Structure formats: C-alpha cells, structure tokens
C-alpha cells in the first residue's frame, strides 16, 4: 500500500503496478490537497486517499501507510458528492437526448459510461422502479451509491441522472426526492381506467353521460369544436373516441396535476418530471396524447417527457413486435406533439428495439428519452454463460422451473417449449441462448427470483457466485455492454 500511496501523492499513478491491486486510473482526482483514486483489491473496490484537507478528513476509513483506505459506503458517497460535484446526479432538461440505463445489479454503470462517453446523449444511470427494488432486495440508497461510484471510477464529468422510475405512491416519490433523485417518472396506471377499452359503444356513452355536464362541455368544446393544430401531427377527434379518452384519462390528468403541485413545483432544484401512461391496457393514440398534454399545459404543469404506450408491443429484452408502418405514422404524430409542447418523447422498454431505433432518432430529431433496464442483466448472464457454464446451467434450470412466478410481474409472450433443452447444448453453445428471444425473455424476467434464491441453509443459491464471476470478468462485461448498448446508440443516430 505504501508504494500506491506514494504514487497517488506524487500524482503519478501510472508508476504503480501490482498483481494484487487494480488501479482505476480514470478515477484519479485532486481536490484541494487530497488525492483520491479507486482501486480493486482482493477485498473488492476501495477508495484510497492521500494528502490532507477536508475531503481527506471526512472520508471514513482506515489509516494505512500514511494514507487512508475507505470503503465504498453510503456515507463516503455523500462525501464524494459534496466535494466532487460530477459524482452527484443532475437534471438535464429537454435540450439534450437522454438514455435511462437502469442497472439492477449495481455493476453495469462503468460499461454504460464507457459506451456513452463523448456522445451527444446523457445517461440516467440510477433508474429503478419500486418493483425492481423489491425483486433485487436493494434500496434507492444502494442504487444511487452504485451509480455515483461508477461515475467516480470512470472519471465521467459530463453529468448523470437519477430516475425514481414508475413511481405511483406519494411515499415513494418523497423517498426518491429526499435522496436527491433528479428525475421522477410518475406512473399513472392506477388512475387510468382499464375497463373502458373493452366496453361497447353504448356502455361508453352511458358512462360518459354520468360525468358532470361542465366537464363534458369543457372537453367537447376544446376537442370537437376547435380542431387541434399541431404541425406534423395528424389529429382527428370523433365524438366516440373523445368520450373514451375522457373516461380513460381525466382522473389521471388530475393525479398528474396534484403530484406536480405538491412535489415538483415547490422544489428549489430542477427535477426532470416524466409522465408515464405506458403501462395500461390501451395504446395511446396521438389524439389521447395531445389531449393529456394540452390539459396539462393549461393547468401550468411543466413536464420533461411523456411516455405513451405505442401501438404494437414493446416487450422486455426483444425487438419491436407489430406493424412498423403504423408505428412510424403514429410516432411522427407523437414526436410532433412533444415538440409542440416542448418536452421529450420518452420510450420505455426501449432495449433491443433495433428495428425501430432509426425511426425514433429520425422523428424526434435526436431529442428523446429512451429507457433500458434489463438488457445489461442479460449481458451479465451472457458473461456467465461464457466463463462459468456450470453456474449458467443451474440458473437456466432454475429460471425454467420458476418462469410462471415471474410472469406475475412482466408481460411477455415467451414460448418456453421453443427453448433448446439445456442438456443438448455443449458449454461452448450456452452463450447462444442470449441470441434467442424465448431464452432471453425467460432469463430477463426471472432476474429477481435468481438473485434472491436461497439454499436450505439460508445462503444465496446463485447471487454470490454470480457477482464473484462478474467481478473477475469486469472487462468482459463492460466490453459486452459497449457492444450491445453501442448498437442501440448507433441506430438511434448517436
Ligand atoms: Zn414504462
């Protein structure tokens, strides 16, 4: 350690080399008279500080050989945020493209940063829903700590965001904002009436008649009597469709406004406020999108982005399913509406949608927010399939046995019977599972069960070995992410 401390003090860390310590050279930072670097030892990642000053004093750690060895703890992360501003998350506003790169494992962000660095797009590295936290047994503190340390490790100074994703409850919104999350994705699905979609015309008319006259007049006047004029969007309201949209979205609009007034408007810092209406039974027509946006603007609700549910299917981890020509027509209108109201169109479950990325890049003029979440988990599984076939086989088998449980959380159309039987594949063939949609979805949606699975004695069935394998294969994992997420960016025109 003495040699390393000396190297850090002299600011010449390239002179240090050791078979037992990996130095993340990009992390090297000098703050006042404190030099700081991240390393990996046999015990995992550590911060090594040398010199003196406030940062040095505040870091909690052990004094060793005239320096300090500090853990990647929550407290030390807060200290980094205080002294090294680029390690704290930030809001981005609407003038730059952004990509949500949710990292369920807390180890994918370095690879994500390497992929996005230098490009005309900014990463939202911390992005988890409450469902994901529950399935992985993590907290928002863990998520933010992992993202901040990845940013420090890579010396990435262009800024990153932190998204409290798909939040529905006020307590969760308060929790995320209290921790300093810089983006909030409001999930309005519980205020969207999913029964309307399957109702007959007569049923819809009868239900609509029960709404207050003033409310009906308000909507009819605004959408039936005055034609909507949004350059680039095709909007045609019919009386029938309007009734349906009002029944589906009116309560949701009230919810959006209430949350905005209570939590977003009073903040003394910028937060990227996203509205999500994607997790519903009803695809969002351009007319419905315009109606929601127009009502929000009239009520003074400013948003960063809106996530409609597009036509066709955006299933997890696989390409777009649906009519691409229809998708293109509707996307053109959705994108034009977003431009008109000065926010970004947000595309959820955006990983692996290779056939529609060029359209998204084109119609949004490169100004979009796109979310990916589980695709980096699949890249991690690919690493395991390559280097630890025994672990992969056990995980695959477990996923097969527990697939039905996982479908409670995710909508997929996986055909389990179409997945090649494990026993028929040689070890060298295991990574090929990651090329096959059914196997991808099988592993994609069972992540929580796999990570939490326990042996009879209470120890983790897979997680410890899984994380150990990935720690040893850090560079292979990052390389896989650079390739896979890099393909996303290329097709999106970034
Ligand atoms: Zn969503």
Measured over the CA atoms of residue 360, residue 361, residue 366 and residue 369, the dihedral's sign is positive
Q: Give me ligand 1 centre to Cα 6, in Å.
A: 49
The predicted pLDDT at position 13 comes to: 87
Looking at the domain assignment, is residue 308 inside a domain? yes
Element (H, E) at 490: helix 474-491
How many domains does the chain contain in total?
3
Element (H, E) at 40: strand 34-41
Q: Over the chain, what is the mean pLDDT?
A: 96
Please tell me whether the overall predicted TM-score, pTM, comes out greater than 0.85 for this model.
yes
Q: How confident is the model at residue 188 (pLDDT cuts 50, 70, 90)?
A: very high
Q: Long-range contact list for 138-145, CB < 8 A, 24+ apart?
A: 138/104, 138/106, 140/164, 140/175, 140/176, 140/179, 140/181, 141/74, 141/179, 142/106, 143/103, 143/106, 144/77, 144/89, 144/179, 144/180, 144/181, 145/72, 145/73, 145/74, 145/77, 145/106
Q: Give me ligand 1 centre to Cα 128, in Å.
A: 11
Are 192 and 295 within one domain?
yes
Are 362 and 396 within one domain?
no
> How many whole angstroms separate alpha carbon 342 and alpha carbon 330?
18
Are 397 and 482 within one domain?
yes
Q: Give me ligand 1 centre to Cα 146, in Å.
A: 22
Q: How confident is the model at residue 222 (pLDDT cuts 50, 70, 90)?
A: very high
Q: Measuring CA to CA, which residue among 74, 99, 84 is closest to residue 31?
A: 84
Looking at the domain assignment, is residue 239 inside a domain? yes
Looking at the domain assignment, is residue 441 inside a domain? yes
Does 280 score more than 90 pLDDT?
A: no
268 φ/ψ angles, rounded to the nearest 5 degrees: -95, 20
> How many whole angstroms separate alpha carbon 190 and alpha carbon 112?
32
Give the count of beta carbons closer than 10 Å to the beta carbon of residue 61: 17
Which of 3-17, 53-67, 359-373, 439-453 has the weakest average pLDDT? 3-17
Are 361 and 401 within one domain?
no
Q: Give me ligand 1 centre to Cα 396, in Å.
A: 27
Q: What are the pLDDT digits (tens) for 78-135?
A: 999 999 999 999 999 999 999 999 999 999 999 999 999 999 999 999 999 999 999 9
Query: Beta strands of 204-282 (E only): which ranges?
Result: 272-276
Q: Give me ligand 1 centre to Cα 80, in Å.
A: 31
What crossing angle do the helices spanning 437-445 and 389-406 adopt, rounded to 10°? Answer: 80
Q: How confident is the model at residue 227 (pLDDT cuts 50, 70, 90)?
A: confident
Looking at the domain assignment, is residue 277 inside a domain? no
The predicted pLDDT at position 12 comes to: 85
> How many whole angstroms separate alpha carbon 182 and alpha carbon 163?
6
Average pLDDT over residues 366-374: 95
Looking at the domain assignment, is residue 6 inside a domain? yes
Are 426 and 304 within one domain?
no
Are 307 and 399 within one domain?
no
Q: Measuring CA to CA, which residue among 81, 184, 103, 177 is closest to residue 147?
A: 103
The predicted pLDDT at position 91 comes to: 98
Q: How confident is the model at residue 11 (pLDDT cuts 50, 70, 90)?
A: confident
Does 410 score more than 90 pLDDT?
A: no
What the block records as the tokens of 476 is: 């292979």
Does 367 score more than 90 pLDDT?
A: yes
Looking at the domain assignment, is residue 194 inside a domain? yes
Element (H, E) at 278: none
Are 339 and 415 within one domain?
no
Does 438 score more than 90 pLDDT?
A: yes
Are 362 and 390 within one domain?
no
The predicted pLDDT at position 21 comes to: 94
Which of 121-130, 280-289, 338-347 has the weakest average pLDDT? 280-289
Does 25 score more than 90 pLDDT?
A: yes
Residue with token string 């009073």 = 266
The predicted pLDDT at position 226 comes to: 86
Angle at 392 between CA 388 and CA 397, to 5 degrees: 155
Does 409 score more than 90 pLDDT?
A: no
Average pLDDT over residues 404-425: 91
- Domain closes at, from 36, 56, 83: 83
Are 362 and 391 within one domain?
no
Does 412 score more than 90 pLDDT?
A: no
- Domain closes at, from 55, 83, 111: 83
List, in sequence order, every residue forming a beta bridge with 307; answer none if it has no partner: 276
Looking at the domain assignment, is residue 480 inside a domain? yes
Are 387 and 362 within one domain?
no
Distances (CA, A) of 267 to 49, 169, 263: 35, 18, 7
The predicted pLDDT at position 279 comes to: 86
Does 437 score more than 90 pLDDT?
A: yes
The predicted pLDDT at position 411 comes to: 81
Does 27 score more than 90 pLDDT?
A: yes
Give the count of beta carbons closer than 10 Å to the beta carbon of residue 95: 8
Q: How confident is the model at residue 317 (pLDDT cuts 50, 70, 90)?
A: confident
- Domain closes at, from 83, 105, 124: 83
Are 217 and 296 within one domain?
yes
Average pLDDT over residues 291-297: 98
Q: How many helices (H) and strands (E) does the chain have?
A: 19, 13
Are 308 and 198 within one domain?
yes
Q: Give me ligand 1 centre to Cα 276, in Å.
A: 6
Average pLDDT over residues 472-489: 97
Domain that holds residue 197: 188-266+285-315+322-343+357-366
> How many whole angstroms separate alpha carbon 283 and alpha carbon 309?
5
Q: Give me ligand 1 centre to Cα 17, in Å.
A: 45
Active site residues: 165, 274
Looking at the domain assignment, is residue 165 inside a domain? no
The predicted pLDDT at position 347 comes to: 97
Q: How confident is the model at residue 278 (pLDDT cuts 50, 70, 90)?
A: very high
Q: Give me ligand 1 centre to Cα 191, in Å.
A: 15
What the block records as the tokens of 430 is: 């295991």
> How many whole angstroms separate alpha carbon 446 and alpha carbon 430?
18
């Amino acid at each position: 350690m003495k040699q390393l401390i000396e190297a850090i003090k002299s600011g010449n860390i390239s002179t240090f080399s050791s078979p037992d310590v990996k130095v993340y050279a990009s992390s090297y930072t000098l703050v006042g008279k404190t030099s700081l670097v991240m390393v990996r030892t046999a015990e995992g990642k550590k911060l090594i500080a040398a010199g003196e000053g406030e940062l040095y004093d505040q870091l909690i750690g052990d004094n060793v050989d005239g320096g300090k060895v500090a853990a990647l703890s929550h407290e030390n992360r807060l200290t980094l945020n205080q002294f090294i501003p680029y390690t704290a998350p930030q809001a981005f506003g609407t003038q730059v493209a952004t990509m949500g790169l949710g990292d369920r494992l807390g180890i994918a962000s370095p690879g994500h940063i390497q992929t996005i660095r230098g490009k005309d797009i900014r990463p939202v590295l911390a992005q988890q829903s409450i469902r994901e936290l529950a399935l992985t047994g993590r907290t928002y503190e863990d998520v933010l700590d992992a993202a901040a340390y990845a940013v420090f490790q890579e010396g990435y100074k262009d800024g990153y965001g932190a998204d409290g994703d798909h939040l529905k409850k006020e307590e969760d919104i308060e929790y995320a904002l209290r921790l300093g999350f810089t983006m909030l994705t409001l999930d309005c699905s519980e205020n969207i009436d999913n029964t309307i979609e399957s109702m007959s015309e007569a049923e819809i008319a009868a239900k609509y008649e029960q709404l207050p006259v003033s409310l009906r007049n308000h909507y009819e006047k605004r959408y039936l009597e005055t034609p909507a004029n949004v350059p680039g969007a095709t909007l045609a309201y019919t009386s029938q469709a309007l009734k349906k949209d009002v029944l589906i979205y009116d309560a949701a609009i009230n919810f959006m406004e209430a949350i905005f007034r209570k939590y977003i408007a009073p903040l003394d810092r910028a937060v990227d406020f996203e509205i999500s209406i994607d997790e519903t039974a009803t695809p969002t027509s351009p007319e419905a999108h315009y109606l929601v946006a127009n009502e929000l603007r009239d009520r003074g609700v400013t948003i960063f982005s809106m996530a409609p549910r597009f036509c066709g299917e955006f299933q997890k981890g696989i390409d777009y399913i649906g009519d691409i020509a229809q998708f293109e027509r509707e996307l053109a209108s959705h994108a034009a509406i977003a431009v008109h109201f000065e926010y970004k169109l947000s595309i959820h479950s955006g990983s692996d949608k290779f056939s529609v990325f060029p359209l998204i890049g084109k119609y949004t003029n490169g100004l979009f927010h796109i979310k990916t979440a589980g695709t980096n988990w699949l890249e991690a599984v690919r690493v395991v399939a390559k280097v630890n076939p025994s672990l992969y086989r056990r995980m695959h088998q477990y996923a097969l046995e527990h697939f039905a449980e996982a479908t409670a959380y995710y909508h997929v159309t996986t055909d389990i019977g179409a997945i090649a039987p494990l026993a028929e594949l040689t070890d060298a063939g295991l990574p090929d599972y990651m090329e096959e949609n059914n196997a991808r979805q099988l592993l994609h949606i069972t992540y929580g069960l796999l990570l939490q699975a326990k042996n009879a004695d209470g120890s983790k069935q897979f997680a410890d070995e899984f994380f150990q394998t990935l720690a040893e294969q850090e560079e292979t994992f990052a390389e896989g992410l650079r390739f896979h997420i890099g393909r996303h960016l290329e097709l999106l025109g970034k």
